[in-house]
Amino acid sequence: MMAAGALVLLDQASKAWAARHLRFTGEPYTAIAGFLNFDYAENNGVAFSQLQNGGDPGRWALSGLALIAALAVLYFFWRTARSDDRILGACALLLAGILGNLTDRIRLGFVIDFIDVQFGGWHYPTFNVADSCICIGACLLLLDLFLNRKKKGKAETADNEQTAADN
């Protein structure tokens, strides 16, 4: 949980930096030419700027969904064995990302995005630290699901071989 708190602080500090240094310049700050820029954007919708036209009711509906998601992640966190570092880490990342963007949405009415990545002609949608936490946490959960399914399949094969050997 301390990691989630630290990540929320990092997210909020980076968004404050973006608001102070990028909002009124009109020009992106190039960190790595042709790859990484910092460019201020306000996202009223959800991931990749979808559902932008919800207005105030949409803002509160998305905030309510985020709050429910945060509570679900907390519940899952508390029910996970303390020895399961991958799931606990994924939960901390998900919680940090959800709370970081929820804080913006409640406080500002939109989420601040500013990280702009591109590879040649390919341009990824602008995102923030909280979005990164959500994506990495979700990938860790998918990885765990895949690894557990693979481990379960091997265990069932070993059990079937043992049963066959016993007969």
Q: Would you say 44 and 62 are in contact if contact means Cβ atoms under 8 Å apart?
A: no
Quick: pLDDT tens for 92-151: 999 999 999 999 999 999 999 999 999 988 989 999 999 999 999 999 999 998 888 766
| Residues recognised as catalytic | 113, 131
Task: Give the C-alpha separation, 48 to 105, whole Å.
Answer: 15
pLDDT attached to residue 147: 87
pLDDT in tens, 63-107: 899 999 999 999 999 998 888 888 999 999 999 999 999 999 999
